[in-house]
Amino acid sequence: MSRAFYRLATLLAAPGFAIAFAMIAVSGPAPRLLWNSSASAPVGLYLVHVGARARRGAFVAVMPPPRLAAFMVRRRYLGENVPLLKRVAATAGARVCNAQGIISINGIARSIAHARDREGRALPGWVGCRTLERGELFLLNAPADSFDSRYFGPLSSRTVIGIATPILTRAAPDAPWRWRRDATAQTDKEKNRCISVNSAR
C-alpha cells in the first residue's frame, strides 16, 4: 500500500472520529491528546502522559530542537511547531553505531540509514559508535523510511513532551481500528488538548 494512499485514507477516516475526540479534548495548559497521521507510527489517537519519564520501548511525543525542526519543515517531513512521535530504542549506557549505513544498538543491527530520501535529496547522517550519556535517547521507528535517530542521532530527554499511549490506532488503512479502553479511562482524570502530528515521514 503506497504511503500517499495511506495518508489519504487517514484523512478520510479522521472526520468520522472528530466528534468523539472533541468530547474528550478540552483546553488545558499542556498537550494531552495527540493525533498521528504519519505512517512512521500507527495512525490514530494517543494519550500523552506529559512529564512522564521516557523508557525504552515506549512511544514518546518529542519537540525537536530548533535546528532539526527547521530542517524537517523545509523538507516537509514535519509541520511547523508539530511534535514527532517516535519509539525509544535505547537510553543511557547503550552503545549505538552507524557502520556503512547499518544502525546497531549494543552490537545488534536494528535498521538501515539511507543516503537519500524518496525524492532523491541527500539525508543527514553520522558515523562511528558512541555510548549514550545520561539524558540521551536514541529514537527509532520500525518503517524503513522513518526520519529518526538513524539520521539525526540521539536527542536530549528534555525534548520529550511525554510518553504517548495509543488510544485508537490502526497499522494500515485496511486494518481494523484498535481501541484501548485502559488508556481512555485516564482522560476522565486529566484535562486534555488535542494536537496533531502530521509528518511526511
Q: What is the pLDDT of residue 8?
A: 45
Q: What is the pLDDT of residue 173?
A: 77
Q: How confident is the model at residue 196 (pLDDT cuts 50, 70, 90)?
A: low
Per-position b or e across 11-34, b if 16+ CB within 10 A of its CB? eeebeeeeeebeebbeeeeebbbb
Higher-confidence residue of 65 and 201: namely 65
Is there a contact between 103 and 112 (Cβ–Cβ < 8 Å)?
yes
Mean pLDDT of 185-192: 48
If residue 183 lies in a helix (H) or strand (E), which one and from where to where?
A: helix 181-184
Parent domain of 51: 3-21+28-197
Q: How confident is the model at residue 117 (pLDDT cuts 50, 70, 90)?
A: very high
> What CATH number is attached to the domain comprising 59?
2.10.109.10
Q: Nearest CA to 114 among 106, 105, 125? A: 125
| Count of structural domains within the chain | 1
Q: What is the pLDDT of residues 38-82, one digit of tens each?
A: 888 999 999 999 989 999 999 999 999 999 999 999 999 999 999
Mean pLDDT of 106-111: 98
If residue 163 lies in a helix (H) or strand (E), which one and from where to where?
A: strand 160-170
Strand 95-99 relative to strand 84-90: parallel, antiparallel, unpaired?
unpaired
